[in-house]
Amino acid sequence: MSSTSRFAGGRLMVVAFEGWNDAGEAASNVARSLVETLELTTLAELDGEAYIDFQFNRPMAARDEDGNSTLVWPRILLHGPASAASPVEGADDSLFVLLGAEPSRSWRSFAAEIVDLVDVHDIAGVVFLGAMLADVPHTRPISLYVGSENPDVRAELLVERSTYEGPVGILSVLSQSIEAAGVPTVSIWASVPHYVHNAPSPKASLAILEKVEEITGVEVPRGDLVEEAAAWESGIDALAADDEDMAGYIEQLEQARDTVDSPEASGEAIAQEFERYLRKRDGKSGDDPWRPPAA
């Protein structure tokens, strides 16, 4: 990446939300890691009453040090360096993180507030993090999609422009609003194996973190993430070893992935391989797609 990259200097904001955009908690865990590792402080809190549906994201009962009952409410917080009110030199001191529950309503008003925060803190670029459930094997490197609607960003980072049409989440809404305000954005999405959707995915978090580091130039210690990713993969291997159907399904995913990654694979060959893969899956649904369909 060029040293003149707009994402390798100046103030940057990393954005991740829990919920729909956060399969395996892969994106939000990266954001939390950035907040903790860089010792960022809370700069602002968005109004949860205005944006969060507490029937969907319910408050949690907890106990304080004296054993008294208390409620922990879902929050949306902007974190940044303690020196955020003053000019900051170097990317390590210029990273901001927007993290919290995905807003459930008033998205246009929410986006307007975030654009205001971007302006107030002189943010030069925004990096959105997301994770989605996909037909991918846990045994291969995590697939990442990196894209931008900004032509300069695409040329600079050699990333794609999405051709997707359909329902979107808050990340797409924010991206469009922030780009309209003249601030470039880029999105990083990880594909998480859907057959292990109930557990956090440290392997996906590690892949996202490495890409964030590549784009922003901010070096973040990995902590226990490398060991956790290896343990995650080994744990799924152990489950598959005791389940013939699951092992066979994972092997199909591996074959499809290896065909896509093969340097000699043509577009037509890749399409044919996925058609065969989809035919094999025909009639299977639910949380365990490797199970034979019910009689």
Three-state SS string across 202-238, please?
Answer: HHHHHHHHHHHHHHHCCCCCCCCHHHHHHHHHHHHHH
- Beta-bridged to residue 16, according to DSSP, are 99
Q: What is the pLDDT of residue 259?
A: 80
Joined together, the tokens standing for residue 123 give 């943010």
Q: How far apart are CA 79 and CA 40, in angstroms?
A: 6
Per-residue pLDDT at 173: 96
pTM score of the predicted model: 0.84
Whether residue 260 sits in one domain with residue 198:
no
What is the domain count for the chain? 2
CA gap 111, 151 in Å, rounded: 22
Task: Please tell me the distance from the alpha carbon of residue 139 to that of residue 145, in angstroms, as a whole number.
Answer: 18
Would you say residue 120 lies in a domain? yes
Domain-located, residue 286: no
Q: Is residue 29 part of a domain?
A: yes
d(CA 65, CA 291): 47
CA 48 – CA 234 distance, rounded (Å): 39
DSSP state of 292: P
- Could you tell me if 64 and 26 lie in one domain? yes
Q: pLDDT tens string for the chain (295 positions)?
A: 344 456 766 899 999 999 988 999 999 999 999 999 999 999 999 999 999 999 888 999 999 888 999 999 999 999 999 876 554 454 446 899 999 999 999 999 999 999 999 999 999 999 999 999 999 999 999 999 999 999 999 999 999 888 888 888 999 999 999 999 999 999 999 999 989 878 899 999 999 999 999 998 888 888 889 999 999 999 999 999 998 889 999 999 998 888 877 665 554 554 454 454 445 445 444 556 655 455 4
Per the listing, tokens 């210029």 go with 94
CA triple 196-200-201, angle to 5 deg: 75
The pLDDT assigned to 1 comes to 39
3-class DSSP state of 90: coil
Of 231, 126, 248, 240, the C-alpha closest to 183 is 126
- The verdict on residue 179 lying in a domain is yes
- Return the pLDDT at 277: 44
Residue 254 lies in a domain: yes
Any idea what DSSP says for residue 160?
Answer: B
pLDDT of residue 126: 97
Is residue 2 included in any domain, yes or no?
no
